[in-house]
Amino acid sequence: MGVASYEFEVTSPIAPARLFKAFVLEAAKIWPTAAPHAVKSVELEGDASPGSIVKITFVEGLPYQYMKHQIGGHDENNFSYSYSMIEGGPLGDKLEKISYENQFVAAADGGSICKSSIKYYTVGDYVITEDEIKTLIKGSEVVYKAIEAYLLANPDACN
């Protein structure tokens, strides 16, 4: 097994507290509403504490039926959260898991910067390429941008 690390940042006009609430605290309600073209449902298996599982089911026609995330933890004061994709999605037979650490920090313009640190745990001697990593990130940006657009269009959501 190998591990490849990748870090990136995404800016948003949405304040950190609202993004954190939409992505972590109210994901089961917000994701299917904001991204109905991609997300069918978000279900929590457990009590949202570390170790609990979140199952995201996608609409028909997408490359993946579902994925499961294991919650690492979250910090509401620092708008940070961590989780690992442990089943489904792009894992296939080449990736054991993908671990994420994300934090929304305030930007000077009142919006935020999402700082992400991702670790790809590969199976056997497989080596993931930077192009593969960028493709995976691009796929998740579709949902990110849909949630951002939903929050912009609905200023009372996630306050």
Q: Virtual CA dihedral for 145, 103, 72, 137, nearest 10 degrees?
A: 40
Token output for 46: 């457990």
131 located within any domain: yes
82 located within any domain: yes
118 located within any domain: yes
**pLDDT in the model for residue 3:** 95
141 located within any domain: yes
158 located within any domain: no
CATH of the domain at 110: 3.30.530.20
- Domain that residue 48 falls in: 2-153
Domain count, the chain: 1
Q: Model pTM?
A: 0.92
Phi, psi for residue 52 in degrees, rounded to 5? -65, 160
Question: pLDDT below 70 — which residues of the chain?
Answer: none
List, for residues 55-80, the tens digit of each pLDDT value: 999 999 988 999 999 999 999 999 99
**pLDDT in the model for residue 140:** 86
**pLDDT in the model for residue 46:** 86
Label residue 104 exposed, middle or buried (CB < 10 Å: 0-12, 13-18, 19+). Answer: buried
Cα(46)–Cα(17) distance, integer angstroms: 24
Cβ 70 vs Cβ 81: under 8 Å: no
122 located within any domain: yes
133 located within any domain: yes
**pLDDT in the model for residue 123:** 96
159 located within any domain: no
